[in-house]
Amino acid sequence: MSSETLWQISMMRIVESKFIKSAVKPDGYPASPYADIAFVGKSNVGKSSLINTLLNRKAIAKVSRTPGKTRLINFFEIHFKTEENKDGFVNFVDLPGYGYAKVSKTERTAWKKMIQNYFEHRMSLKGIIALVDIRHSADPKDIVMLKMLQDEDIPFIVIATKSDKIAKSKLPACLEKLSAGLEVNNKNIYSFSSLKKTGIEDILNWIDNQIL
Ligand SMILES: Nc1nc2c(ncn2[C@@H]2O[C@H](COP(=O)(O)OP(=O)(O)OP(=O)(O)O)[C@@H](O)[C@H]2O)c(=O)[nH]1
Ligand SMILES: [Mg+2]
């Protein structure tokens, strides 16, 4: 079965997506009647690419070879059709990446405050998609982030990105090792590739379940 077919049989079918606005503080967040699903992870892990892939758009979220491109909280509004062909809406939120070495301490503190504010004040936040690079072993920065989500009781899944960079036969072992290292249940981790467009259905189904 081709990845194109997988995307089409997913429970959610994306109809339209649009950029709403960027914000730093809670008073800048868009007032929206819809749930938020946010994407977090280290700089360069592939957050913006994943959002574009899910939405079947080339560049609604800005992708860059230079880490640290996304410095603001970016809100996108998604219109989709459910399995029963009903209209549904959700916001996708592209959060700025962490762990980029070349940022000042001041910037790092500002980032932390921005993320904490978002987690604590965005009442419509229904779930987090936490991205890690499938080629790397568990990073303490990711463990801290996942701990933060657990402390705040925010539902999350871990997505191991860039799976096209490793042999298919090695995927299960990589996921097992990552879930153990990150101390998350191996049922809550999936592999994904923006390049090959694989893993889309798992993510859309999870999102669908969070925003019911
Ligand atoms: N091979 C491969 N490359 C990818 C994949 N996803 C992203 N990339 C590349 O990784 C780099 C970073 O991707 P982005 O989507 O901009 O990463 P980001 O997490 O949004 O980065 P920041 O905005 O800096 O936090 C780009 O050069 C992408 O082309 C993937 O699935 N496979
Ligand atoms: Mg980005």
Alpha-carbon span 206 to 35, nearest angstrom: 14
Question: Which ligand 1 atom is the nearest neighbour of the CA of 96?
Answer: 25
The string of pLDDT tens digits covering residues 154-173 is 999 999 999 999 999 999 99
- Asked whether residue 76 carries a pLDDT value surpassing 50, the answer given is yes
Residues 6+ apart with CB under 8 A from 126: 35, 36, 37, 155, 210, 211
Question: Which ligand 1 atom is the nearest neighbour of the CA of 64?
Answer: 16
pTM of the model: 0.91
94 CA to centre of ligand 2 in angstroms? 7
List the single range of 3-12, 16-25, 111-120, 176-185 with lowest mean pLDDT: 3-12
Q: Which residue from 51, 57, 63 has its CB within 8 A of the most atoms of ligand 1, so it is best to mutate?
A: 63
Q: Which domain holds residue 120?
A: 3-210
Mapped onto helix, strand or coil, the DSSP state of residue 176 is: helix
How confident is the model at residue 83, as a pLDDT? Answer: 85
Confidence of residue 84 (pLDDT cuts 50, 70, 90): confident
How confident is the model at residue 3, as a pLDDT? Answer: 46
Copy the structure tokens of residue 168: 């298919």
How confident is the model at residue 67, as a pLDDT? Answer: 61
The CATH number of the domain holding residue 53 is 3.40.50.300
- The answer to whether 72 and 84 have CB atoms below 8 angstroms apart is no
Mean pLDDT calculated for residue range 2-30: 79
DSSP 45: S
Counted domains in the chain: 1
